């Protein structure tokens, strides 16, 4: 019954390493999102995509990039990981916001620690 799958639950990387976080959804949703979740803060949007090969910056895109080559897959890339990118990363998918209650379906999260 899993609908949004994040490839890695836990990762430990070193400063300067390149990190790939993969997300796949099987609900044929147009929209996909990457958030980070930190204690005491609301979810913060990093990037989102409304269609294949399209991407839009969210509130905190610095230090991140994304790729959406196929509708079901949305990847988050940290070109050179830094300690302040230690966080829980959540992927989500949903239908168009203007279609009313755009309920997001989240993956279980990827907890990244950068040493």
Partner 1 sequence: GQNIDQPTEMTATEGAIVQINCTYQTSGFNGLFWYQQHAGEAPTFLSYNVLDGLEEKGRFSSVLSRTKGYSYLLLKELQMKDSASYLCAVYDSNYQLIWGAGTKLIIKP
Q: Which residues bind partner 1 (CB under 8 A)?
A: 4, 40-45, 90, 97-98, 100-109
Query: Which DSSP letter does residue 33 get?
Result: E
Q: How far is the CB of 80 from partner 1 (least distance, A)?
A: 27
Closest Cα to residue 106, out of 2, 1, 4?
Answer: 4
Of the pair 17, 30, the CB lying nearest partner 1 is at: 30
Of the pair 82, 113, the CB lying nearest partner 1 is at: 113
- Six-digit token pair at 73? 């897959």
Q: How far apart are CA 9 and CA 17, in angstroms?
A: 18
Q: How far is the CB of 70 from partner 1 (least distance, A)?
A: 22
């Amino acid at each position: 019954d899993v609908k949004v799958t994040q490839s890695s639950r836990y990762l430990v990387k070193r400063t300067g390493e390149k990190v790939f976080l993969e997300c796949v959804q099987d609900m044929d949703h147009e929209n996909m999102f990457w958030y980070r979740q930190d204690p005491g803060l609301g979810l913060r949007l990093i990037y989102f995509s409304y269609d294949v090969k399209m991407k839009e910056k969210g509130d905190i895109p610095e230090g991140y990039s994304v790729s959406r080559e196929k509708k079901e897959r949305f990847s988050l890339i940290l070109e050179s990981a830094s300690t302040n990118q230690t966080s829980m990363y959540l992927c989500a998918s949903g239908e168009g916001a203007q279609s009313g209650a755009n309920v997001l379906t989240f993956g279980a999260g990827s907890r990244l620690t950068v040493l």
